[in-house]
Structure 1
Amino acid sequence: MYPPLNLPQFDLKLEGDKIWDVLRKKYLLCTPEEWVRQNFIQYLIQHKNYPQGRMVSEYTVDYNGLKKRCDIAIFNEELGVDVIVECKAPNVALTEDTFYQIAKYTSTLRAPILILTNGLEHYCGFVDLNKKELRFLKEIPDVAALKELLNPS
């Protein structure tokens, strides 16, 4: 019923046309974008070792006086946002414009890692906030790689 994604398979809780959101602790309508989001949340928890307790879905961002939402935000120990994830439905092409959608949140949240996924393709960028540069990474960092990237020796 739901399309296969370019992610490991997870045992997600489905109830009719609803899917369990482990972060918000409730069932949500399982739209194509929500299917990607819930699978990607599990990928981050189970394969990249991000703590579920530091993740928020549909995190509100105040951008130039407008209330926007990023799909997933991952916080650090100091309660700053380290990672922003934008999820799209599998049939949505990932373009420069869709990556720009999350890049603009960096001006408010100061998150150095930006991830864009439609479940089939995944792009990850590292924003050097001091140099104001964006560098694409070959893979999505796990927690250990993230700490090394943010705190090089």
Structure 2
Amino acid sequence: MQKLHFPKYTFRFKNSENKIAIFDEIRKKFILLTPEEWVRQHVVQFLLQEKNYPKSYINVEKIIKINSLIKRYDIVVYQPNGDLFLLIECKAPEVKITQETFNQIARYNLVLNAKYLMVSNGLNHYFCQMDFENEKYVFLEELPNFENRI
């Protein structure tokens, strides 16, 4: 798999029927290793190891309903009170992050109301804080650590 712009993390792999799977600590199972899953697992480790987000507050790949359409978010992080804190959209490294990527996460966030957004293709990472009052997002240099969240 391609080297990504994250610190080096250790992962568990298994090979079954000539397909490689990577262990997802959050879902507690092996997932087929695709380029997007490679990015997703790096983002999970980034949240756990660099930002100190508790594993119990992280949720991966769940279904949401948006305007009667069934969609699936990549990663969310909850606050201790159950409110959504962070919504993350992961793309494969070869997928360019465009305005359409931000439109996608913004549509998801109309339903989810996360305070922070992250978009990553493993090579480029974008962090935003929502300004709900003015209906826009403000780009940030980095995400807050869990203990420093606002």
Asked whether the two chains share a fold, i.e. TM above 0.5, the reply is yes
Q: Partner of 1:39 in structure 2?
A: 42
Where do 5+ consecutive residues of structure 2 fail to align?
none
C-alpha separation in 1, matches of 2:102 and 2:144 = 18
Cα RMSD, aligned residues only: 1.0
TM-score w.r.t. length of structure 1: 0.91
User: What residue in structure 2 maps to residue 14 of structure 1?
Assistant: 13
The correspondence for 2:71, drawn from 53, 61, 68, is 68
Corresponding residue to 1:109 among 108, 112, 126: 112
Equivalent position of 1:78 in the other structure:
81
Q: Segments of 4+ in structure 1 off by > 2 A?
A: 144-147
- Once the two structures are TM-superposed, the CA of residue 144 in structure 1 deviates from its matched residue by 3.0
Q: After superposition, what is the alpha-carbon deviation per residue over 1:120-140, rounded to whole angstroms, capped at 9, x for unaligned?
A: 100011111233221111112
Please give the residue correspondences for 1:126-145 in structure 2 after superposition, counting only pairs within 5 Å.
126-145=129-148
SS of alignment partner, residue 11 of structure 1: coil
Percent of aligned positions that are identical:
38
Q: Residue 60 of structure 1: CA displacement? A: 1.8
TM-score, normalization: structure 2?
A: 0.93
Task: Tell whether 2:29 aligns with 1:30.
Answer: no
| Paired residue secondary structure (1:104) | helix
Does the 8 Å CA contact 1:115/1:122 hold for their aligned counterparts? Answer: yes
**d(CA) in 1 for partners of 2:134 and 2:149?**
18
Higher strand proportion (structure 1 or 2):
2
Aligned residue pairs, count: 146
Runs (5+) with no aligned partner, structure 1: 148-153
